[in-house]
């Protein structure tokens, strides 16, 4: 049950950030791209598709990929693999 709640919370937060990010693309006071990237980052913890998106972006920006790997290890140590 905890895995389901955690996964639902991460998906909700991730998709919420992506949705707010798309709104932010058309408004002058929100940073749309930044919020979309954060949403993809959150979704990458539970979704294989978004993990590939983040990994592909990590090839272009290796320092960001290193940071993602560190955060992902900490996340899995705290919450488990979720499988």
Mean pLDDT of the chain: 83
Q: What is the pLDDT of residues 8-33, one digit of tens each?
A: 888 899 999 999 999 999 988 888 88
In the block, tokens 């560190």 appear at 70
What is d(CA 58, CA 64) in angstroms, rounded to the nearest whole number?
A: 6
DSSP 57: H
With helix as H, strand as E and coil as C, how does 21-53 read?
Answer: HHHHHCCCCCCHHHHHHHHHHHHCCCCHHHHHH
Q: What is the pLDDT of residues 34-71, one digit of tens each?
A: 888 889 888 888 888 888 887 787 778 788 778 777 88
What is d(CA 52, CA 8) in angstroms, rounded to the nearest whole number?
A: 20
């Amino acid at each position: 049950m905890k895995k389901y709640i955690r996964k639902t919370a991460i998906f909700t937060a991730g998709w919420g950030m992506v949705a707010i990010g798309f709104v932010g693309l058309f408004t002058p006071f929100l940073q749309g791209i930044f919020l979309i990237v954060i949403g993809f980052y959150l979704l990458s913890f539970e979704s294989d598709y978004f993990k590939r998106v983040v990994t592909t972006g990590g090839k272009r920006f290796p320092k960001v990929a290193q940071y993602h790997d560190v955060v992902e290890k900490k996340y899995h140590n705290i919450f488990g693999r979720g499988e």
